[in-house]
Structure 1
Amino acid sequence: MNLLGASIFIIAILLFSTFLNWYVFQAVKTLSQSLSIEKNRNVIHVVYWLIFGGISLWYVATFLKVFITGEFTFSTQTLLNVFLTVVVTQMTCVVFLFSEDIYRNIFAGITYLREGSGNFIFPNRKLWVSGLALYIAMIPFFGFLYGMAFGKHNFKVHKEVLYFEDLPEAFDGFTLTQISDIHIGSFKNPNHVQKGIDLVLEQKSDLFVFTGDLVNHRADEIEPFIAQFSSIKAPYGQFSIIGNHDYGDYIPWPSKEEKEANFELFVAKHEKMGWRLLRDESVRIEKDGQFLQLLGVENWGVGFGARGDLEQALAQTDIDDFKILLSHDPSHWDQQVKKHENTIHLTLSGHTHGMQFGIETPIIRWSPVQYRYPNWAGLAAYEGRYLYVNRGFGFHAFSGRVGIWPEITVIELRRKV
């Protein structure tokens, strides 16, 4: 981002934060009016602005540092945790206050038309509305605290059974386990990592696949955890692909050579773990004299680089082969895969993390990421072709998960009869 863009972004953050601080202050001020001592009210007001004004200045200072250095640090991650927690909490409160303001303005307008300016009094805020607004806002506040402390390790297994008419008979009942977006640089406790790995091992699938973003930025992030991930074994192999973060594109490097050396080390780490890295290529998975084709492409995503070459990956396959594609970014499926003349039966992706924040219930399914990706989690279908988007194993930037839990995916292939 250039200097002008960075300046606009920082100013926008400051203005937005100040607006939220001011609006929520209206509720605080209304509730504090119930105090009988004027001095107590003033102390509450001063403390409020010292806290939230200070947080807003912290936003500005930290984002400015990010734009200057180009690197996310532990302090940056802490800031993002606070930023999301405070903003979502404040916006929840503002919804109630703004709704009340609409009512107050409508009521005032009707009163003015009836009574004229002489008897016109703009209605005050209701004490109960301000109290309710702050009370309800505590739900996302404590939700984010849970997400940062426990939610990011709250692994869930999602299972799907998919039916295909042209699945080779030998693969009827074949299972594969998928994880994605480990972002190992965000983990500090090996026990939290092991909790997810144990769930992977419990599935006892025929095949294991990983769909990209092993690290945040640097290849050596994975080194302390190699022994743990090396324990993942499947009868028909372990395969992986490259995600957008794995190239080291999001931090500055002293030289082009050091960045290239980092990527070479990244490739070597896969070999050390026993995971075969597929780079625009296909491999036959054979069983009882029959086979399916497993394809893997380098990262291809709208807005995140188009390195992957699908045609090269398809070059050694026949149009009648049963094919499974590993492609990190689900936008690849929308743009190139689902309507390709060479049928790819199943595509496995990740990348979105479900934005690590949202609601998933039998009735409501929502995350802010849906405004960027139409297929952001779970299963999608198009004319008998499927896409599955894994919600991610790890976390990045925001050090938590709220409502969108880390995922281990298990897919069973069945032959439709």
Structure 2
Amino acid sequence: MRKRVLYILILWLFADVYFFTAVSTLTANPAWHWAYWLVDILIVAGVVFTIFGRKRGAAPRAMSWVMALMLLSAVPKILGTPVLLIEDVVRAFSGFPPRSIWVSELALIVAVIPFLGLLFGLTRGRHHYTVHRHTLYFPDLPEAFDGFTLTQLSDIHAGSFTSEKGVNKGIDLVNAQHSDVILFTGDLVNNKASEMHPWISAFSRLQARLGKYSVLGNHDYGDYTQWDNKALKAANLISLKNVHKQIGFRLLLDEAVTITKEGQTITLIGVENWGKGGFHKYGDLEKAAANVPDDQFKILMSHDPSHWEAKTLNHLKHIHLTLSGHTHGAQFGIELFGFKWSPIKYVYKQWAGLYKQKDRYLYVNRGFGFLGLKGRVGIWPEITVLTLRKSQEPRNKS
């Protein structure tokens, strides 16, 4: 983590120095020059404090603000710097004459555009909910479930919420989908069950005709905060499980339930968190699916998408659809005209949206809430609506 931040700081420093040449070309006023560097010095000091002060209890809210200010300062300069680099290539063949004013103005304009986008994301993006709709076709879907709709939510992170109006906006949008079921794929809180207490009545308003189901995510176990003793941590998890019940969620803990419609059934499987690398592997897919018939249509809820390639794809029982979250799409990236990018793609192969292998689907929800960064830039909070349809085409063997 610290090494990655160091690389980012080096890139930022390079862009900072380079972009300053445009600022100094446009104004010789030393007050502007001092202000330019003072802002960056304060942000860097904040970054250093949050990295090395975390073990000493640096406030999460302070970390969030520092991250936001760092993005506002670094990203526009990094994107504006190529304009200056191109000019310098031309200047190199002319004996490096003074930098052109109009090129410096162009670099400033290029930097202003992402700055405004970042500003929107950091102030409004956290509740800029987007509905992603997909229709999935399965040849062995029971006839009664042709047209069956599910709404997936993930990564609520109630401990980050500050706006009742913003949260209710998202809940109203979920209910407006009128789905058959609502499926929540983990991370109800940041660390403690108490974070959800102010929001129980709001999320209790979620409605679905055939039920609401949930699983736990990596943050739900209280692994990322200090507890005076193990008993308190265990009590917190018990309390969190009770919160799921108060909201109206049926929490699935390495178990399966049957959903019945017009005399036909599909099976919903829910596992505890299972993540790659240093994330805990609490989940037990073998246990959860043990009593599920092989020919049953199956939907798996598993918080971490790395579980899909590691365990689910090659599972002996054909799991038709897996629903995950966890990545948040890094809460930062670009999604325009079919193009999708976020730095999280270098960590998770499947990080947002729909994926398909071996006639098995994975959907990775971008998250309803936010964590760390107090906002979302380009990767908006998501409400997923999936419609299941019975396809007449036989499934390809692989």
TM-score norm. by structure 2 comes to 0.93
Identity of aligned residues (%): 50
Kept in 1, the 8 Å contact 2:275–2:307? The answer is yes
**2:54 matches 1:66:** yes
TM alignment of 1:4-43, pairs within 5 A: 15-33=10-28, 41-43=29-31
Kept in 1, the 8 Å contact 2:80–2:110? The answer is yes
254-263 vs 277-286, greater mean Cα deviation: 254-263
Corresponding position of 2:123: 149
Kept in 1, the 8 Å contact 2:40–2:73? The answer is no
The amino acid across from 1:163 in the alignment is: Y
Kept in 2, the 8 Å contact 1:10–1:60? The answer is no
State how far apart, in whole Å, the 2-side matches of 1:32 and 1:75 are: 33
Unaligned ranges ≥5, structure 1: 34-40, 109-120
Question: Could you say which structure has the larger radius of gyration?
Answer: 1
Q: Which runs of 4+ in 1 moved over 6 A?
A: 8-11
Corresponding position of 1:269: 243
Tell me the alpha carbon deviations over residues 285-313 of structure 1, each in whole angstroms, 9 at most, x when there is no partner.
11222211100111112132222111111
**2:287 matches 1:312:** yes
Tell me the alpha carbon deviations over residues 162-196 of structure 1, each in whole angstroms, 9 at most, x when there is no partner.
11111111111111111111111111111111111
In structure 2, relative to structure 1, the CA distance for the partners of 1:393 and 1:131 (3 Å cut) is same
Corresponding position of 1:98: 85
State how far apart, in whole Å, the 2-side matches of 1:406 and 1:12 are: 28
Kept in 2, the 8 Å contact 1:297–1:313? The answer is yes
Matched residue SS, 1:78: helix
In structure 2, relative to structure 1, the CA distance for the partners of 1:21 and 1:150 (3 Å cut) is same
**2:267 matches 1:293:** yes
Corresponding position of 2:305: 330
The amino acid across from 1:22 in the alignment is: V
**2:183 matches 1:195:** no
TM alignment of 1:196-211, pairs within 5 A: 196-211=170-185
The match for 1:244 among 218, 221, 245 is: 218
**2:4 matches 1:47:** no
TM-score norm. by structure 1 comes to 0.89
Matched residue SS, 1:286: strand
Corresponding position of 1:369: 344
**2:378 matches 1:403:** yes
TM alignment of 1:53-202, pairs within 5 A: 53-69=41-57, 72-105=59-92, 107=93, 121-202=95-176
Unaligned ranges ≥5, structure 2: 393-398
Kept in 2, the 8 Å contact 1:179–1:390? The answer is yes
Question: How many residues of Structure 1 are paired with residues of Structure 2 in the alignment?
Answer: 391
Kept in 1, the 8 Å contact 2:16–2:74? The answer is no
CA drift at 1:373 = 1.8
CA drift at 1:204 = 1.2
Structure 1 vs Structure 2 CA RMSD = 1.9
Corresponding position of 2:332: 357
CA drift at 1:137 = 0.6
CA drift at 1:214 = 0.7
